[in-house]
Amino acid sequence: MATIQDIEVRDSAARSALAADELQDMHGEKMVLNMGPSHPATHGVLRIVLELDGEIITKADPDVGYLHRGDEKIAENMTYTQFIPYTDRLDYLAPLANNVAYALAVEKLLGIHDKLPPRCQYIRVMCAELARISAHLLGLGAFAMDMGAVTVFLLSFTEREKIYNLAEAISGARLTTSYTRIGGVMRDLPPGWLDQCQKFCDDFIPALNEFETLLTRNRIWVDRVRDLAVISKEDAIDYGLSGPNLRGSGVEWDLRKKQPYLCYKDLDFDIPTGSVGDCYDRYLVRMEEMRQSVRILEQCTKKIPGGADNKTNEPVNVADGKITLPPKQKVMSSMEELIHQFMLVTEGVNCPPGEIYFGHENPKGELGFYICSKGGGTPYRMKIRAPSFVNLSIVPKIFVGTLISDTVAILGSLDFVMGECDR
Partner 1 sequence: MSALETAQKIKAKFGDLISEPAEFRGEITVKLADAEQITAVCEFAKQTLGFNYLVDISSVDNYGDDPRWTIVYHLRDIVNVVEIRIKIDVSEEKSELPSVLSVWRTANWHEREIYDMMGIRFSGHPDLRRILMWEGYPYFPLRKDFPLAGKPSELPGVAFTKPAPLEGGPFVTVAGGKDAISREPRIRNPEE
Sole binder of partner 1 in the list 184, 306, 365, 377 (CB under 8 A): 377
Q: Does 356 bind partner 1 (CB under 8 A)?
A: yes
Q: Does 365 bind partner 1 (CB under 8 A)?
A: no
Residue 324: HSE in the Cβ half-sphere, 13 Å Cα cutoff: 22
Sole binder of partner 1 in the list 46, 64, 145, 398 (CB under 8 A): 64
Residues 6+ apart with CB under 8 A from 119: 188, 304, 305, 306, 310, 314, 315, 316
Q: Does 375 bind partner 1 (CB under 8 A)?
A: no
Sole binder of partner 1 in the list 190, 321, 354, 401 (CB under 8 A): 354
113 closest CA partner among 318, 353, 289, 394: 318
In angstroms, give the least distance from the CB of 109 to partner 1.
7
DSSP 3-state of 164: helix
Q: Residues binding partner 1: what is the number (CB under 8 A)?
A: 46
- The interface region with partner 1, picked from 7-15, 61-69, 120-128, 327-335 by CB under 8 A, is 61-69
Cis ω on the peptide bond leading into residue 363 (within 30° of 0)?
A: no
3-state helix, strand, coil in the chain (%, to 5): 50, 10, 40
Residues facing 32 on adjacent strands: 51
DSSP 3-state of 61: strand
- The interface region with partner 1, picked from 38-46, 148-156, 251-259, 299-307 by CB under 8 A, is 251-259
Nearer to partner 1, 5 or 346 (CB): 346
Sole binder of partner 1 in the list 89, 226, 303, 381 (CB under 8 A): 381
- The interface region with partner 1, picked from 64-72, 90-98, 122-130, 280-288 by CB under 8 A, is 64-72
Q: Does 251 bind partner 1 (CB under 8 A)?
A: yes
Sole binder of partner 1 in the list 34, 38, 77, 405 (CB under 8 A): 77
Q: What is the DSSP string of 253-301?
A: --HHHHS--TTGGGS-------SS-SHHHHHHHHHHHHHHHHHHHHHHH
Q: Does 253 bind partner 1 (CB under 8 A)?
A: yes
Residues 150-169 that bind partner 1 (CB under 8 A): none
DSSP 3-state of 376: strand
